[in-house]
């Protein structure tokens, strides 16, 4: 039994996005789309865990191996007594690697929208790191603009944001830049951000990563339709769609779509959407960056890239970004 407790659990009561409204709005658009945030119900989370273990999806393996290798370098940059703030704290493996690497980390603040799993995860970390003050904030991290007083960095240590997994790639570049600016404001002067970013690479490798032979990525994508039927009572033919994912080189992104296999209707209540054979519903973008592209974006958001690391195969990157000193002459956030 776990006897640990949390230093704080702040529930900011994140607005539950309206799945039905989002589906109706997205299907009304041209081209049609569905928001990727709805991938992550219990079944979707389970499928995402399986994707991470497929031989084709290198992202998680490359990032965790890199994190293990650069631990001492991160510790040297962060210094002793860091307060780690994780944006989107779903799985705890990566933050454990970070806490293991840091020099006497003072605090860990986990932020996630799903309160139950967040509490369980934070309690498990608290149990294994008795020297670290562990707290959690139930919030939509994309809209969080300040940290509650409970989560202020401990005296002397750096406020170290942690955003692994290349989740930044699921934002379009203007939104990614805006989100980085927001994290910059949340961390404040003296803060730093450790962020994982997937790299541009050979198209065949990227296409394979989003079309695994076991079919988990396809099931993950198609799960959106299962959710629509199960939770919203949407009328559609679950066998009438297929997973379609490819690397769009001009845009620098993997695109995931659901492709209609025939002419068919989707009914959402009294709304009817007519889809032609071959028509696509866009479900996700996953942007890939070069080191230079990402460092430029971070700079535009007010960060100084102190270090960028890649794995031996140049698959994935991790950046240590410091909140730039706004008082320095000539510094400007654009």
Q: Which residues bind ligand AVI (CB under 6 A)?
A: 51, 59, 165-167, 169-170, 210, 217, 284, 286
Give dist(CA 221, CA 258) in Å, integer: 7
- The neighbour count for residue 298, using CB atoms within 10 Å, is 25
Identify which of 196, 213, 104 has the alpha carbon closest to the alpha carbon of residue 157: 104
| Least distance (Å) between residue 297 CB and ligand AVI | 16
CA distance 69 to 73: 9
Choice between 170 and 317, CB closer to ligand AVI: 170
For ligand AVI, the closer CB: 83 or 166: 166
SS3 142: coil
CB of residue 168 to ligand AVI, shortest distance in Å: 8
Which of 253, 295 has the CB closer to ligand AVI?
253
The residue (of 91 and 129) whose beta carbon lies closer to ligand AVI is 91
Query: Is residue 215 within a helix (H) or strand (E), and if so which, with residue range?
Result: none
CB of 122 to ligand AVI, least distance (A): 20
To the nearest 10°, report the CA torsion of 169, 170, 171, 172: 80
Q: Which is nearer to ligand AVI, 210 or 273 (CB)?
A: 210
CB of 42 to ligand AVI, least distance (A): 16
Q: How far is the CB of 331 from ligand AVI (least distance, A)?
A: 31
Min dist CB 165 to ligand AVI, Å, is: 5
- State the DSSP H helix or E strand holding residue 144, giving kind and residue range, or none if neither: none
Cα separation, 255 vs 287, in Å, equals 9
Smaller CB separation from ligand AVI, 287 or 303: 287
Nearest-CB residue for ligand AVI = 286
Instruction: Work out how close the CB of 166 gets to ligand AVI at its nearest, in angstroms, rounded to a whole number.
Output: 5
- CA–CA gap between residue 63 and residue 84 (Å, rounded): 18
Nearer to ligand AVI, 59 or 75 (CB): 59
Q: How many CB atoms lie within 10 A of CB 134?
A: 26
Q: What is the 3-state secondary structure (H, E, C) of 84-105?
A: EEEECCCCCHHHHHHHHHCCCC
- Cβ pair 39, 223 in contact under 8 A: yes
């Amino acid at each position: 039994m776990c006897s640990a407790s949390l230093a704080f659990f702040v529930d900011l009561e994140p607005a539950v996005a309206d799945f039905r409204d989002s589906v109706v709005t997205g299907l009304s658009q041209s081209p049609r789309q569905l928001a990727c945030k709805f991938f992550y119900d219990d079944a979707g989370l389970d499928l995402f865990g399986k994707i991470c273990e497929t031989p084709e999806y290198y992202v998680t393996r490359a990032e965790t191996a890199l994190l293990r290798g650069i631990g001492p370098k991160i510790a040297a940059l962060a210094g002793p007594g860091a307060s780690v703030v994780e944006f989107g704290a779903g799985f705890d493996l990566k933050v454990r690697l970070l806490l293991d690497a840091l020099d006497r980390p003072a605090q860990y603040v986990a932020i996630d929208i799903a309160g139950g799993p967040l509490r369980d995860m934070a309690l498990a970390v608290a149990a294994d790191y008795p020297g670290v003050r562990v707290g959690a904030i139930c919030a939509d991290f994309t809209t969080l603009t300040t940290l509650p007083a409970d989560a202020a960095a401990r005296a002397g240590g750096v406020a170290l944001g942690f955003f692994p997994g290349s989740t930044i790639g699921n934002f379009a570049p203007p939104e990614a830049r805006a989100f980085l600016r927001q994290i910059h404001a949340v961390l404040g002067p003296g803060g730093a951000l450790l962020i994982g970013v997937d790299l541009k690479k050979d198209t065949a490798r990227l296409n394979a990563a989003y079309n695994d032979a076991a079919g988990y990525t396809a099931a993950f994508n198609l799960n959106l339709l299962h959710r629509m039927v199960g939770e919203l009572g949407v009328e559609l033919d679950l066998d009438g769609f297929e997973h379609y994912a490819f690397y769009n080189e001009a845009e620098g992104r993997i695109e995931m779509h659901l492709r209609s296999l025939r002419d068919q209707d989707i009914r959402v209540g009294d709304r009817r959407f007519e889809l032609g054979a071959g028509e696509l519903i866009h479900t996700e973008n996953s942007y890939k960056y070069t080191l230079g592209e990402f460092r430029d974006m971070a700079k535009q958001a007010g960060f100084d890239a102190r270090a960028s690391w890649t794995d031996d195969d140049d698959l994935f990157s991790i950046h240590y970004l410091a909140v730039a000193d706004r008082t320095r002459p000539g510094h400007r956030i654009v």
